[in-house]
Chains A and B, each alone.
Chain A
Amino acid sequence: MKRSSRGRRIGVVAWVLGATVTVGALAMALTFSVPEALKGDWPLGIAAGEAGFYAQWLDLRTGDSSATGPERYLFGHVPGACLLNDSSVGWSSQWFEADGFGDSVKVRRLRSAEGEFVVKFRREEPFRAQRHIVLLPATLESIRNKYLEILARELGLVTPEVSFVRVIACGRDQGIYLKEERIDADFLEKQGLAGSSLFTQGHDPARPDHLFPDFEDDTLAGAMLVPVLHAAYERIMADADAASDRLTDRRTAVGLWLMHELEHGEGDRGSEDLFAYDWSKGRIIALYRHGRATGPRDTRHFAGLDFLTGLARDPAFMKALKERRLQLADQRWRLKERFAAMDRAWLPILSDGSSLAFAKAAALRIQDELLGARLNAVGAYRGQMLVRHACCGDAFAQDSVGHAPAISTADLLPRGAVLRSHALGEDTLVFPRGRYAIGRDLLLPVGTVVVIEAGARFEIGAGRSVVVQGPLIVQGTVRNPVFVRAMDEGSPFGTFAVLGDGTTSCSIAGLQLSGGSEARTSGVYFSGQFAIHGAGATYMRDCIIAASQGEDLLNIKGGAVDIAECVFEDGLADLVDLDGCKGRIFRCIFRSGRKDSNGDGLDLSGARVSVWGCTFSGMMDKGISVGEASQLLVRASRFVGNRMALAAKDLSIAYVEGNVFLDNAIVFGAYRKKPIYGGARVMRYANEYVNNGKEQEVDAMSNVVHADALDEKTLRMFPAE
């Protein structure tokens, strides 16, 4: 058997057969592999490009996906001035069109990622209630940002919605872009964070600009908050327990920590985070937006000590973090279902004509990364050293206060105040009958119950404030009230306030309070001379709140309210301002004798309140103003001599029945005030109208509707009278 030495010619058939067998074997291997393997590493030298080629041309697998195309955003342009070719930092004007919308807008490139730009709409004509949107060229990888949005919402974080659109600009199709609303003040308001200030905070200890918050618009905020933060950092450095300071909202902080770990894994803290500072609570709320930066990330051994990273020193926080992570892991199956729904909606768009199987493979890889190894991983940041690169002298240490109680020593308390042990074991501070001169800000300890007995009289120095950080019980009566007055007539005090934790209860009877204004103290803004922030429930009886020199006579933020038989009079601006409250107001008097005031009797924002048997008289602005998606039921009340008796604004609705309207310049107003909201509605039933100037003022988006009788369903929405 001698082998022939002649070369054997390989024919065409052999070539074709060889190629077909190879390609066929490869196609079989890819077809019967799990879908996500398409995007994986292959053995035997199969390159990613070959798998991609297969997916594009040979893969027969189909998926259940919607066939809906993406929304189109069209940017008009002047020849020679294509916005995508514009590399300058300034704004340029463009014509923008989307479904049902067309307007001239401002466009600017963003430096945070290649190809990213922001579109700014006119304040009075926002695009679907959005003032700014950000557009970023999308790839298959961009589905990660949709998943991150779902995770962030699951963790209770405020985050903009991610979607994908087709951008037509410079006269041609520019492909698919990721679209999200830019986080700004309007965005915060829509998310229920009205009155908050937006800021960024970095965590790189080597960056001096990461030492303190960078507020976007509020130029005063930084100066006011920095001393509070400085004090908090000093406490954290000195004592780990102090990290349990109330400065940072725990729920959102846990969420942001987990999002950092899910998004970056062992990545860095080099980027800056967004936060909202809630002036009404003096609390920092973490927000979330996905990272923009690409390229390698560093594992950093150090993090700058701040209100977020400092929580690592708090065992209770770390325990909460662990529990939340386990909870999230338990919900993995549900999250995967939500991710799958997003895949069906967005992958056909993101694949943009390419292989859907390949897109799915990429998406599954991302899902596995987010919900697999990273969710199971031990926290990346927990081993970091916290470094506080202090700066610029020790000036803050001299006057900073923060939320720490100012009185662990009794000598700061007014003479006569008694610390008692409460029956339930809590500390209670009792102010018996007597006179209490408050010559400096009095910030009472967190959680301490304060009881003010009948006959007690507080006299508070000019600009000074009293802040109760626990339940408040005022035990006055009509005949033997509790007084809170300015120490010097004509020199208003700041505020008499309660700063609660959302469960705090306030029971206030027989309080006569006047002569205050408003205050910013310990990083909290109190707009009322009498202010109750963060109470779970507030009951007021037989009180007279009068003569303020500030924004509000009484301001209650949040919780249930039950106010009865009270008199509110002579405020500089609004008398009673209820933000985010639910409850009722019963047989109260709202009146103004001041011609220099320009406020409302009752101002509701994001509230649901019934008003019964009250009187609103002489208000230079509105008797009742209902705004920011509030609901009001007003019955059996009198509106006398107001500029406008009742105004509904910004998606609010007012049900008005059985009232008397007498001598008002205008009876009803219904309109949109803030462009991010819609119009309003007044439902008017049988009322009595006497000698009013004008019946109604209504804009095109709002209406005043005549109806016959209130139905039961409506009545059930409000507390019983």
Chain B
Amino acid sequence: MTRRFGIVGLVWTGLSAAVLLSLVGFAVLLGPSRATSIAAAAVLNASIDGFAEEPGAHRIPVLDLHVAPSALDSLQRDLPWSGGESVSAFLIENGVRHKARFRYRGVFTPSHFLGGKKSFRLSMKRSNPWAPYRRLNVINPKAFNMVNDHMAAWVAGSLGVAVPMNEMVFVRINDEDCGVMELFEQVDGDFERNRHLHRHEVPVYKGDYPPVADRSLPKGRSLWQDPAHWEYASDADSSLAHQRLASLIAALARDSLPLEAHRDSIARLIDVDAFLRYQAALVVINSIHVDQYHNQWLVLDPRTGRFYPVLWDALMMFAPRDGSLYAVHDALEWWMLRVPDWRLRRDRYVYEALAQLQREGGFDARLDEVIERIRPSVLADRNKYGNVTLQPEDVHRVSLAHVISSLVGFRSSVHAYWDRTLARIEAKEVEVTKGDVLRLRSSNDAPLLLRWSGDGTIVTVNGHLAAPGFENGRWTLVLYRELVAGPGSKDHPLADKQLMIVEPLDAIVAFEGGVPASLEILNAITHEAVE
């Protein structure tokens, strides 16, 4: 007996030593933190995910895909460079076989092509299980929680922003589980046809990194610098669209013309309201994954001849920052933020969205719904891959524990960010001094709305004649706030990652005939009285 235990003990000791040595070896090679993260992910995957027995029927669509193994091998021979060639495949849906073209996608992000859950694209005929959509991206979710992009599309959609169709699916390839993936529409000329809005293709521009031409990653191009930096992604006639895009880019160049000239030019070329909603959505989802170089789409509205944007790959809570309400994603936003009434409209969209999503519980309800739908599929997914460290190449198997903790973190970080944002928007602290004139001092971000009845159409603000409006029998005047470039920002339309900050307000408002007794001072975004 002693002899037998001695051998077993020896084997275990040897194994433990091998594990320890490999850990030490990897710790030396990769650094302790990185090696520990990779090892922990592997251990958690092996030890936790197996407990999920009989997770129940899928509640999300199952994508039953068949691709010849030889074709898959061919595509995988030298990823990411070898994955771009389309091969024949078919989808089975209720026993019906739908032809498709299959290729891998995602050259720039290793989580798309490393690991066992590779992102791919399907092109299908008009009659297909996902009709009317013909081109679909099926990607390995970028975050452990799997749903931050999915939720970003939902949130932006609820703000009235055009978003691609986005669904969570469970993928099977050649009768083997591939796991939970995110499926979304590829934006192209069919964008409006897919929404039953237009019968033909419409002009669409893609603003992203240049296509890969050789075995190297191309550098990003400043999209708003040159129309040639945009890729035309439609079969519709492009002549008018191209002319308009060139005009728009010209209108965004910094020159000696006054802001009003730029504003009017921009307003003729874009759907201002659609862009304000889009920019509001970027504030709400708190992402900088849309920038001067990539993740931008422009659709030329066939009804108005103006461009509207499509939110793409926004990754909710990507690189959260908390510095300002006015982060600049691109040159267009740089200009639009400078137009005070546009900025106010944008802020109102942010406020309305947060009231619904945060105060009324819309976001939690939706997130719960999504979690409930994906739960059986996530439990069944033994093929979860993600970046376990900040190194892009560290794409390794992760566990259910990663998904759960990431979802918890996602929810709490969203709520914390929205609470802070609402606090900024709803700020009401203003120092008000009333005498012959009105003096208003504020150090928060919100513009102020003055409202009064009776006479008093002649008003000056800091000695400049103002032009009050007249609504519902009352005079109104908005005291907009002044934006300046934040610390480290270059204050140029084409500069990267700029922040604008709000200057403190110190305004002296003089009314003809004195300060009206009926004067109300309100937060111009929320219309709540200031304190």
**What is A's interface to B at a CB cutoff of 8 Å?**
87-89, 109-116, 205-209, 211-215, 219, 222-223, 226, 295-296, 298, 300-302, 385, 387-396, 398
Contacts and interface: CB of A to CB of B under 8 A. Distances in A.
Contacts of A115: 94-95
Q: Which 9 A-B pairs have the closest CB atoms?
A: A395-B303, A389-B157, A390-B160, A393-B271, A87-B97, A393-B308, A301-B365, A212-B196, A114-B94
Given A208-B164, A208-B195, A389-B158, 5 more contacts: A87-B92, A205-B157, A209-B165, A385-B365, A393-B304
18 contacts: A89-B96, A89-B97, A110-B96, A114-B95, A205-B157, A206-B154, A208-B164, A208-B165, A295-B57, A295-B58, A301-B368, A301-B369, A385-B362, A389-B158, A392-B301, A392-B308, A395-B271, A395-B301
B145 to A, nearest CB: 17
Contacts of A393: 162, 271, 273-274, 301, 303-304, 306, 308
A271 to B, nearest CB: 13
B98 interface: yes
A214 B198 CA distance: 11
B486 interface: no
B127 interface: yes
A109 B274 contact: no
A298 B59 contact: yes
A302 B157 CA distance: 13
B196 A209 contact: yes
A88 B303 contact: no
Interface in B173-220: 185, 191-192, 194-199
B166 to A, nearest CB: 7
Given A389-B157, A393-B306, A212 B369 contact: no
Contacts of B157: 205-206, 208, 387, 389
A300 B369 contact: yes
Interface in B15-68: 56-59
B375 to A, nearest CB: 11
A388 B165 CA distance: 15
B93 interface: yes
A411 to B, nearest CB: 20
Contacts of B315: none
B196 A392 contact: no
A89 B127 contact: yes
A206 B271 CA distance: 23
Contact of B192 (A219, A392, A396): A392
A323 B406 CA distance: 48
Interface string B204-245: 000000000000000000000000000000000000000000
A222 B198 CA distance: 8
Interface in B284-313: 299, 301, 303-304, 306, 308
B165 A391 contact: no
B406 to A, nearest CB: 21
Interface in B370-386: 372-373
A364 to B, nearest CB: 26
Contacts of B304: 393, 395, 398
B77 interface: no
B197 A391 contact: yes
Contacts of B194: 208-209
Nearest to A297: B59
B331 interface: no
A390 B197 CA distance: 12
B163 interface: yes
Contacts of A89: 96-98, 125, 127
Contacts of B160: 388-391
Nearest to A113: B94
Nearest to A395: B303
Nearest to B99: A89
B84 interface: no
Contacts of A209: 132-133, 165, 194-196
B366 interface: yes
A88 B197 contact: no
Contacts of A222: 196-197, 199
A696 to B, nearest CB: 45
A599 to B, nearest CB: 30
B299 A116 contact: no
Interface in B422-441: none
Contacts of A391: 160, 162, 195, 197
Given A87-B97, A111-B96, A296 B195 contact: no
A385 B167 CA distance: 20
B516 interface: no
B129 interface: yes
A219 B196 CA distance: 10
A482 B234 CA distance: 55
B308 A302 contact: no
Interface string B133-160: 1000000000000000000011001101
Contacts of A205: 157-158
B273 A116 contact: no
Contact of A112 (B94, B162, B195): B94
A175 B303 CA distance: 53
A301 B366 contact: yes
B157 to A, nearest CB: 4
A222 B199 CA distance: 9
Nearest to B153: A206
Interface string B352-375: 000000000010011011001100
B58 to A, nearest CB: 8
Contacts of A300: 369
Interface string B78-116: 000000000000001111111000000000000000000
B57 A296 contact: yes
Nearest to A302: B366
Contacts of B167: 206
Contacts of B57: 295-296
A302 to B, nearest CB: 7
With most chain A CB atoms within 10 A of its CB, the pick from B127, B163, B196, B366 is B196
A282 B362 CA distance: 34
Contacts of A109: 95-96
A132 to B, nearest CB: 16
Contacts of A219: 199
A213 B133 CA distance: 15
Contact of B196 (A111, A214, A385, A389): A214
A115 B96 CA distance: 9
B99 to A, nearest CB: 8
B285 to A, nearest CB: 15
B195 A212 contact: yes
A215 B198 CA distance: 12
Contacts of A298: 59, 369, 372-373
Nearest to A87: B97
B324 to A, nearest CB: 27
A268 to B, nearest CB: 10
Given A110-B96, A302-B369, A392 B197 contact: yes
Nearest to B362: A385
With most chain B CB atoms within 10 A of its CB, the pick from A115, A387, A396 is A387
B162 A392 contact: yes
A394 B271 contact: yes
Given A301-B369, A395-B301, A226 B273 contact: no
A153 to B, nearest CB: 28
Contacts of A207: 165
A398 B167 CA distance: 32
